[in-house]
Amino acid sequence: MSKFIEPKRPKGFRDLFGEDIKLRNAMLDKIRAVYELYGFEPLETPAMEYVETLGKFLPETDTPEGGIFALQDDADEWIALRYEFTTPLSRIIAQYPELPLPFRRYQLGPVWRVEKPKPGSFREFIQFDIDTVGTESMAADAEICSVLAEAMEKIGIQRENYIVKVNNRKILNGVLETAGIKIFLDESNLTQLALQTLRTIDKLDRIGISGIEDLLTTGRLDESGDFMKGVGLNSEQVKIIIDYLNITSKSRKDFCEKLKSVIGNSRIGLDGIQELEDIDRYLSVIGIDEHRVIFDPTIVRGLTYYTGPIYEVFLTFDITDENGNKKQFGSVAGGGRYDDLVQRFLGKKVPATGASIGVDRLLVALKLLNKAQVQSAFPPVLVTTIDKNLMLEYQKITAELRNAGISAEMYLGQGGFKKQLKYADKKNIYIAVILGSDEFENNQITIKDLKLGEKLSKQIEDRDKWRKEQPAQIIIPRHNLVNEIRKIIDKSGLSQIKYK
């Protein structure tokens, strides 16, 4: 029996290393800047909450335990890892009545869900939320849409590559009511027929209009050949729903007018249309047009969660899936109005609206668009250590660079100069500082531009001449070290360093 423990990671979790973390942090800094520009402030809550606090609000589950990591504490109370940030926020609002309303916050961090691991889907992932609690004004919902649009552009996603799609749960309920489908069992719980119908509508992107018609009536064969039982609606009911899903318009205002012809006299549906009209007015006055935010009848989201406007951010550029088919990248953020969530704690409704950005998925998109660049810091300069008698001088050089605002690392490993350059290459380091005994005695120092050397080495024809001239390597007076390194950094085009 081996005495060693096998190094393995829990299923559905990941290890992340330097470059990915730097890319993510650079992206998050830009999103955070947008949030703070709008006056939102940071909030942190514990990674764990009482299961009673989390309730049964995990999408598409009916029990508190469904989909969450839970355990009993030393008082035999059930606690669980948070699966999102909105429920903890509702607890904060109820627990701290002294907070000023509206309460505007953003929150960043990991959340956990017990889901079957699959490519691109993990049990631990990062969310970046923004919420406004304590106002019924549609200006708050319009503001969330505006923040999401500006965040996409801030991180480098151009307008032709994203769109914020907006709908309203009241409108969806109005369509059901017009079709003669009972909506609620009580004040907030949807009937089983309403749930089945909405879940079917949510499959539109995958199965198309004809597939929706089949599933709303008798059923259809899925891709595996299994038969999926239909909802059982009649032809008149299905026509109302299909007419609704077929509504298209490049104008938000015209879209609302077309909705009215489908909604008919449904009070809840007309209320939803009015809210969309209000959002349109707020967006229009600040210059957010239909190239950035549109109204879309197919957005459904959290069936037992949202109470009013709902929105999703879609990235519209094409990718190739595992089967070789081209498709749009899809959703990277979403949210909506959830006026019922705080009611579980206080017994009264507290209006709230917000959205969540899926950080990991958004970073994948930036990489595909070649927009993911670490521009907040230049790769460290490597101070090589080729003479062990000069270690204190190497430390002094490293400190001098850092004091000048230049990221620097002194090589602390074992091995000669070639090994140190290989180390620099693996870490994508751009510049090596070289100081031997001869340079030290002459008060000189050598700088090697590693990236320039790599580029020029591909063009050489005379190897002996290359070794003799070393065009990417210069010897300079010791006191010019900082200025010469700054010149190389500035030429690279990546410099975002705030020099002292």
Per-residue HEC secondary structure of 430-465 comes to: CEEEECCHHHHHCCEEEEEEHHHHHHHHCCCCCHHH
Give per-residue pLDDT as tens, 310-343. Answer: 999 999 998 876 667 788 898 999 999 999 889 8
Mean pLDDT of 232-256: 94
Three-state DSSP at 105 gives strand
Tokens in use for 394? 């190497």
Give per-residue pLDDT as tens, 347-356. Answer: 889 999 999 9
The model's confidence at residue 412, banded by pLDDT at 50, 70 and 90, is: very high
- Count of positions (residues) in the chain: 500
Mean pLDDT of 438-443: 94
Tokens in use for 235? 């032809």
Q: pTM of the full predicted structure? A: 0.83
Among the residue ranges 39-53, 118-132, 167-181, the one predicted with the least confidence is 118-132
Bridge pairing between strands 352-358 and 124-133: antiparallel
* Cα atoms in the 13 Å half-sphere on the side-chain side of 33: 12
- Alpha-carbon distance 200 to 124, whole Å? 28
- Alpha-carbon distance 489 to 123, whole Å? 40
Three-state DSSP at 416 gives coil
- The residues near 336 (Cβ < 8 Å, ≥ 6 apart) are 169, 301, 302, 305, 306, 307, 308, 309, 310, 311, 353, 354, 355
- Specify whether the CB–CB gap between 73 and 9 falls below 8 A: no
Bridge pairing between strands 103-112 and 41-42: parallel
Three-state DSSP at 295 gives strand
- Specify whether the CB–CB gap between 131 and 352 falls below 8 A: yes
pLDDT higher than threshold 60 for residue 455: no
Range among 188-192, 212-216, 221-225 rated most confident: 212-216
- Alpha-carbon distance 393 to 370, whole Å? 40
- Alpha-carbon distance 106 to 46, whole Å? 15
The whole-angstrom distance between residue 29's C-alpha and the CA centroid of its chain comes to 12
- Alpha-carbon distance 113 to 214, whole Å? 32
Among the residue ranges 229-233, 438-442, 473-477, 496-500, the one predicted with the least confidence is 496-500
The model's confidence at residue 430, banded by pLDDT at 50, 70 and 90, is: confident
Average pLDDT, the chain: 87
- Specify whether the CB–CB gap between 147 and 35 falls below 8 A: yes
- The residues near 419 (Cβ < 8 Å, ≥ 6 apart) are 413
Mean pLDDT of 426-449: 92
- Alpha-carbon distance 427 to 440, whole Å? 27
- CA nearest 240: which of 206, 266, 208? 266
Amino acid at 184: F
Range among 29-38, 316-325, 373-382 rated most confident: 29-38
pLDDT higher than threshold 80 for residue 495: no
Q: Which domains does the chain have, with CATH numbers?
A: 9-136+339-376 (3.30.930.10), 157-332 (3.30.930.10), 381-492 (3.40.50.800)
- Specify whether the CB–CB gap between 296 and 201 falls below 8 A: no
Residue 293 or residue 11, greater confidence: 293
- Alpha-carbon distance 48 to 70, whole Å? 9
Among the residue ranges 211-220, 369-378, 424-433, 448-457, the one predicted with the least confidence is 369-378
- Alpha-carbon distance 473 to 381, whole Å? 14
Residue 32 or residue 3, greater confidence: 32
Bridge pairing between strands 227-229 and 293-295: unpaired
Give per-residue pLDDT as tens, 175-187. Answer: 999 999 998 887 7
Tokens in use for 164? 């914020």
Mean pLDDT of 388-416: 93
Place of tokens 């390597």: 473
pLDDT higher than threshold 70 for residue 376: no
- Alpha-carbon distance 81 to 25, whole Å? 23
Burial of 364 (0-12, 13-18, 19+ CB in 10 A): middle
Give per-residue pLDDT as tens, 255-290. Answer: 999 999 999 999 999 999 999 999 999 999 999 999
What pLDDT score does 175 carry? Answer: 95
pLDDT higher than threshold 80 for residue 49: yes
Mean pLDDT of 23-35: 94
pLDDT higher than threshold 50 for residue 148: yes
Residue 201 backbone dihedrals phi, psi, to 5 degrees: -55, -35
End-to-end CA distance of the chain: 58
Q: What percent of the chain has pLDDT over 90?
A: 63
pLDDT higher than threshold 50 for residue 497: no
pLDDT higher than threshold 60 for residue 436: yes
What pLDDT score does 147 carry? Answer: 97
Q: Spell out the SS3 assignment of 330-383.
A: EEEEEEEECCCCCHHHHCCCCCEEEEEEEHHHHHHHHHHCCCCCCCCCCCCEEE
What pLDDT score does 111 carry? Answer: 95
Place of tokens 């100081």: 435
DSSP state of 436: -
Give per-residue pLDDT as tens, 68-108. Answer: 888 888 888 889 999 999 999 999 999 999 999 999 999 99
Q: Spell out the SS3 assignment of 131-184.
A: EEECCCCHHHHHHHHHHHHHHHHHCCCCHHHEEEEEEEHHHHHHHHHHCCCCCE
Tokens in use for 210? 């004809």
- The residues near 113 (Cβ < 8 Å, ≥ 6 apart) are 58, 67, 68, 83, 123
